[in-house]
């Protein structure tokens, strides 16, 4: 029995040793392939002999340990050009199979150095590309970035001498080419780089003048395009950041007058739009232009003038004077109708509350709906308001209460300069008589009464009509 146990133990030991030897031989074989630089064969060997095998994990660990002393040798060969990019792709494929990544410090350091060396090779490739294209300036730029530690340094230095000589031959020729192609900033940049050695030559001065003149003309066209879109900030950035760098006198002058030039251009463009009765476009353009300048009072005033030709809610106007405050939050009435605008003068107690607006004869119609807010649907209050045009009463709303239906009104305000809305000193919450969608327009006045107030004199109506005709004529002429 004892002999049997000894035999069994010996057999197990032999099996373990055999398995270990087999494992070691496979990892050694893989490392030999790596040492030979045949990384493609190493990948194939891994796929055939190691991948999905019972000992894969142990084998990967063995190879990983073996790689630590091989990274520097691989880098040195790669830097010298003894290992191709295709071979390196196979190498990285093998590292992925072995599950070696940048969590491994040694491999992370290897990757960092490899990327540096590869970048130097890329610089050389870029330089070769530009040399073929006869762009010697760019070739010199990339060649100068290749340091002595790079394996391609000697080759780079040789090519640098060649590119520098070619560049010297084509210095001013390239400037002429830039000018012909309208690339004035490149022309000026190139001239600046030669300034110390060529600035006294007649050819240099001639080309400098051409480049500066071309840049100014190009800038004027580009600036006008920005002006046309109402974009002052981009126009300024173009001149200041892209063009003023070259110290061109014409660009400096444009910068000095840019703000005034932009405002003048914007006003003239808006005038043209208004002449074609495109008031909304004129307002939108002026508002965009003002915003691009972070606010401009001249443009804001012009926009305000043309905005008068657009339908305008009373809540969008600024009052001249007020007793109380404008309340405009409740846009739902007691019948659950929803509106775009709500207006009343908020105030308490039996006191007269009012607000006065300058409408300066800009509108023909003031229309709206008198309604009771949803929040007042259970109130016991009643209320009404009155509207005065240049001091004359032209509208008195119905006495509203919680059960009142909304009531439309439409008033002819042609020629009216001052409009005052008054909530008389009577009991009740002013909001019970809210003006919904109170809108000023330049609409057709035919059939629209000047006043709904009984006893309004014919003299008043006729005077308003005459004043309306005069104001309309003046306004149209101005626009």
Per-residue pLDDT of the chain (479 residues; tens, 9 = 90+): 444 444 444 444 333 334 444 455 888 998 999 999 889 998 898 888 888 888 888 888 888 899 899 999 999 999 999 999 999 999 999 889 888 988 899 999 999 999 999 999 999 999 999 999 988 878 888 998 999 999 999 999 998 878 766 765 667 888 888 999 999 999 999 888 887 656 666 777 888 899 999 999 999 999 999 999 999 999 999 999 988 888 899 999 999 999 999 999 999 999 999 898 898 899 999 999 999 999 999 999 999 888 878 889 999 999 999 999 999 989 999 999 999 999 999 987 789 999 999 998 989 999 999 999 999 999 999 999 999 999 999 999 999 999 999 999 999 999 999 999 999 999 999 999 999 999 999 867 887 877 777 655 444 444 444 544 444 433 333 33
Given this model, what pLDDT does residue 383 score?
96
Nearest Cα to 185, choosing from 212, 217, 225? 212
With b meaning 16 or more CB within 10 Å and e meaning fewer, what string describes 38-76? ebbebbebbeeebeeeeebebbbebbbeebeeebeebbe
- Please give the torsion angle defined by the CA atoms of residues 471, 408, 310 and 294, in that order, rounded to the nearest 10 degrees: 120
312-478 in CATH: which number?
A: 2.60.120.1060
Domain positions in the chain are: 312-478
- Kindly report the pTM of this predicted structure: 0.43
Report the DSSP beta bridge partners of residue 436.
342, 369
Nearest to 139 by CA among 157, 154, 152: 157
């Amino acid at each position: 029995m004892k002999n049997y146990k000894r035999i069994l133990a010996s057999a197990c030991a032999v099996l373990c040793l055999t398995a270990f030897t087999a494992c070691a031989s496979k990892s050694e074989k893989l490392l030999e392939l790596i040492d030979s630089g045949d990384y493609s064969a190493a990948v194939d060997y891994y796929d055939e002999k190691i991948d999905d095998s019972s000992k894969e994990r142990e084998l990967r660990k063995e190879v990983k340990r073996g790689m630590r002393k091989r990274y520097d040798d691989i880098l040195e060969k790669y830097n010298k050009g003894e290992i191709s990019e295709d071979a390196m792709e196979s190498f990285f494929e093998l590292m992925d199979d072995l599950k070696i990544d940048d969590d491994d410090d040694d491999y992370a350091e290897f990757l960092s150095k490899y990327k540096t060396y590869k970048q130097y090779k890329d610089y050389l490739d870029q330089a070769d590309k530009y040399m073929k294209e006869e762009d010697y300036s760019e070739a010199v730029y990339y060649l100068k970035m290749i340091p002595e530690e790079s394996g391609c340094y000697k080759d780079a230095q040789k090519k640098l001498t060649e590119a520098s000589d070619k560049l010297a031959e084509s210095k001013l020729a390239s400037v002429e080419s830039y000018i012909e192609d309208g690339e004035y900033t490149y022309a000026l940049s190139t001239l600046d780089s030669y300034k110390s050695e060529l600035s006294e030559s007649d050819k240099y001065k001639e080309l400098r003048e051409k480049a500066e003149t071309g840049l100014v003309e190009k800038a004027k066209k580009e600036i006008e395009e920005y002006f046309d879109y109402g974009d002052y900030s981009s126009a300024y950035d173009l001149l200041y950041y892209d063009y003023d760098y070259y110290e061109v006198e014409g660009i400096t002058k444009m910068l000095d007058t840019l703000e005034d030039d932009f405002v003048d251009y914007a006003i003239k463009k808006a005038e043209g739009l208004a002449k074609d009765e495109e008031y909304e476009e004129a307002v939108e353009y002026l508002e965009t232009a003002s915003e691009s300048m972070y606010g401009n009072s001249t443009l804001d005033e012009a926009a305000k003038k043309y905005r008068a030709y657009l339908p305008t809610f009373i809540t969008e106007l600024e009052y001249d004077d007020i007793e109380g405050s404008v309340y405009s939050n409740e846009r739902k009435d007691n019948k659950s109708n929803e509106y775009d605008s709500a207006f009343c003068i908020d105030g308490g107690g039996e006191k007269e509350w009012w607000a006065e607006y300058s409408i300066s004869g800009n509108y023909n119609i003031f229309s709206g709906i008198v309604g009771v807010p949803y929040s007042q649907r259970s109130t016991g209050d009643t209320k009404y308001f009155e509207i005065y045009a240049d001091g004359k009463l032209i509208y008195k709303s119905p006495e509203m209460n919680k059960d009142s239906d909304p009531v439309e009104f439409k008033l002819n305000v042609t020629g009216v300069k001052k409009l005052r809305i008054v909530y008389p000193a009577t009991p009740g919450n002013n909001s019970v008589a809210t003006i919904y969608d109170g809108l000023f327009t330049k609409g057709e006045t035919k059939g629209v009464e000047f006043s709904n107030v009984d006893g309004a004199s014919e003299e008043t109506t006729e005077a308003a009509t005459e004043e309306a005709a005069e104001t309309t004529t003046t306004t149209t002429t101005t626009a």
